[in-house]
Structure 1
């Protein structure tokens, strides 16, 4: 084994590299990129014809949620289509969202790693069906996304009036430790 480590895979024991795959992301000093294989898997998909194929689509989207702005709003038609207790139906709304998602993934966002001491800004986007937020780091005149979070509202939360919805941001944002 490499460097005297008994349980380490020698292919994973590489030091001094400038970028590499880690937990499904491509990490470098400048940014965090989505795994292009995961994007290609969504791009290559045909419109789902069965509930199982739609579940496969939502799973592939879940692997990319960190890189998709307002993913809750974009994915809501898929969740409605696979809801338990209903017969699966791929609606025109689902097809439109699917094609828009594929177009969005043509140029995926790169995320900037947070830097200790930098002031980060949190922007919220609230709709009737989802709460979304983006954590942004300023680099001069350029705003670089650090993290996207989106939650689809279900049940009673969907009935909250617009002016009160912003109060529910605690259900949207994870603990700061999980972001950094």
Structure 2
């Protein structure tokens, strides 16, 4: 994993023209942990609560697997949050059910997992849930295609810039 601080400047102009953090996010094939300037640095780092925000496509598998492994290794509570749009059936996808089944049997006893489905704006629901749960880390999956799409790339940078906790972006292979 790569860990970086961000300056919190700029938006799309910064994404297109440059910061080191965003260049690494664009190119990395490894998860990247980013910490923006508004994240309060504790005296002692303790990770009790992890929120993993996913969408309804199969590309979320790698993100969920990473989050499960991290939460299991840290004995942390993991909340998998799925935000759905109006009119979308939140249980259309079978992969979202029984997430603990993805953990190897010998580690499953320590699985502390909640699954939450929220309707509404993707960004606002992520931030609200992370704040409500006092998340220590927020995990999202990113396709490197997202950084070439203005709207989706902007959504990713907004999450990184506005989060009150560190964000881990997990690259999704395309």
- Work out which of the two has the higher radius of gyration on C-alpha atoms and give 1 or 2: 1
Alignment TM-score, normalising by the size of structure 2:
0.26
Alignment TM-score, normalising by the size of structure 1:
0.26
Q: Which has the higher contact order (CA 8 A, sep 6+)?
A: 2
